[in-house]
Amino acid sequence: MTRTPQVVVIGGGQAGLAAGYHLRRLGVDFVILDGQSTPGGAWQHAWDSLHLFSPAAHSSLPGRLMPSQPGETYPDASHVVAYLADYEKRYDLPVQRGALVQAVHRDGPFLRIQADTGTWQARAVISATGTWTRPFLPAVPGREVFQGRQLHTVGYRRPGDFAGQRVIVVGGGNSGAQIAADLAHDTELTWVTQRPPRFLADDIDGRALFDVATARRRALDEGRTDTAGVAALGDIVAVPPVRQARDAGLLKASPMFLRLDRHGILWADGRRASADTVIWCTGFRPALSHLAPLGLRGVRGHIATAGTRAVDEPRLHLLGYGDWTGPASATLIGVGRPARDAAREIAELLKTAHCHRR
């Protein structure tokens, strides 16, 4: 049986919930399909020590402030999961769990959404599937011959799993720095980054990043010079554990190596380091494979958008993947505004579709 809500939101993480909040306010009939069996999106899978880089009040979705976490200025991931679960319940958002969407097809005036649990037909789709399910691994020679363990950020949980080991952490972003800091005390750590690590000033946290990202987007929208936004400030937020490890001299980065062999890594100058484990903190790509049947071309794995709307398929909106879908839209506080804009555009589209039917 095909179900026919006006709108299907694909993905029930923070972006999907923010979209749901605004669709509900506008009186749109919708459903949220989420591939996981429990609420919380990617936050459910974070490593044990992960804390937000902004205080709770600056990490809120529309309508409901995130309560502070007792004893923590920067809440941990379990607090975010609890907040998202509560948010979903509070606004009675219709999330269907365990519904992994395989494909979205054009179907006359509709889009047809095919999940492993059934088929939906809708006038519009908001895709909010995040990036966590699409870890990126660089093509470094020798990856297949290394005999130790290799994992990506998504597989990392806690330093105790690697106690006493020789561990290589690859990546100079926030995940790499935080995981390196986590491992610095209990392992023989080598932290490898493509360029020297760039720490943001210690007093800059997610609040400032949000302001900078918003100012950049405004400048671009108004045709002013690109300020380079957050990227101009540095790559790594100096959250307390990172700051402590850095100040203790435990976060010294080595340049990127040339290749791996059976036992470890080799640099271009002939140096080598043996390793038990390599952890690739090398980022993510947007999880968009379900949209492949729509044939929307894009640069760097993105789909061309005007705001959140796909330029070549106006019934499709993309939400939460990064700045290309709204300033800071891949953050808790940043996703609210693009979610509101997407919901409003869709409500307008539905009105037009309704007029044409009469």
Chain residues that interact with ligand FAD, rule: CB under 6 A: 10-16, 33-36, 41-43, 52-54, 59, 100-101, 128-130, 132-133, 174-175, 206, 287, 290, 320, 330-332
Residue whose CB is less far from ligand FAD, 59 or 150: 59
Least distance (Å) between residue 271 CB and ligand FAD: 30
Q: First vs last Cα of the chain: how many Å apart?
A: 26
Task: Report the interhelical angle of 336-357 vs 14-25 (nearest 10°).
Answer: 50
Residue whose CB is less far from ligand FAD, 169 or 330: 330
Least distance (Å) between residue 330 CB and ligand FAD: 5
Least distance (Å) between residue 5 CB and ligand FAD: 15
Cα–Cα distance measured from residue 301 to residue 283, given in angstroms and rounded to the nearest whole number: 14
Q: How far is CA 206 from CA 54, 201, 211, 270, in A?
A: 5, 12, 9, 40
Cα–Cα distance measured from residue 26 to residue 193, given in angstroms and rounded to the nearest whole number: 46
Sheet of 264-266: strands edge to edge? 259-260, 264-266, 272-274
Task: Report the interhelical angle of 240-247 vs 174-183 (nearest 10°).
Answer: 60
Instruction: Return phi, psi of residue 157, to 5°.
Output: -120, -55
Least distance (Å) between residue 129 CB and ligand FAD: 3
Residue whose CB is less far from ligand FAD, 264 or 326: 326
Q: Are 279 and 180 in contact (CB under 8 A)?
A: no
- Which residue, 202, 208, 195, 205, is CA-closest to 246? 202
Q: How many residues in total does the chain contain? A: 358
Residue whose CB is less far from ligand FAD, 87 or 146: 87
Q: For residue 338, what is the enclosing H or E element?
A: helix 336-357
Residue whose CB is less far from ligand FAD, 11 or 264: 11
Q: How many helices (H) and strands (E) does the chain have?
A: 6, 19
- Which residue, 328, 291, 330, is CA-closest to 313? 291
Residue type, 217: R
Least distance (Å) between residue 289 CB and ligand FAD: 7
Least distance (Å) between residue 64 CB and ligand FAD: 15
Cα–Cα distance measured from residue 68 to residue 142, given in angstroms and rounded to the nearest whole number: 46
Residue whose CB is less far from ligand FAD, 42 or 347: 42
Residue whose CB is less far from ligand FAD, 150 or 331: 331
- Ranges of beta strands (E only) in 28-165 are 30-34, 95-97, 101-107, 110-115, 118-122, 124-127, 149-152
Residue whose CB is less far from ligand FAD, 34 or 88: 34
Least distance (Å) between residue 173 CB and ligand FAD: 8
Cα–Cα distance measured from residue 127 to residue 117, given in angstroms and rounded to the nearest whole number: 17
Residue whose CB is less far from ligand FAD, 34 or 313: 34
Least distance (Å) between residue 122 CB and ligand FAD: 14
Estimate to the nearest angstrom the gap between the alpha carbon of 324 and the chain centroid. 13
Least distance (Å) between residue 133 CB and ligand FAD: 5
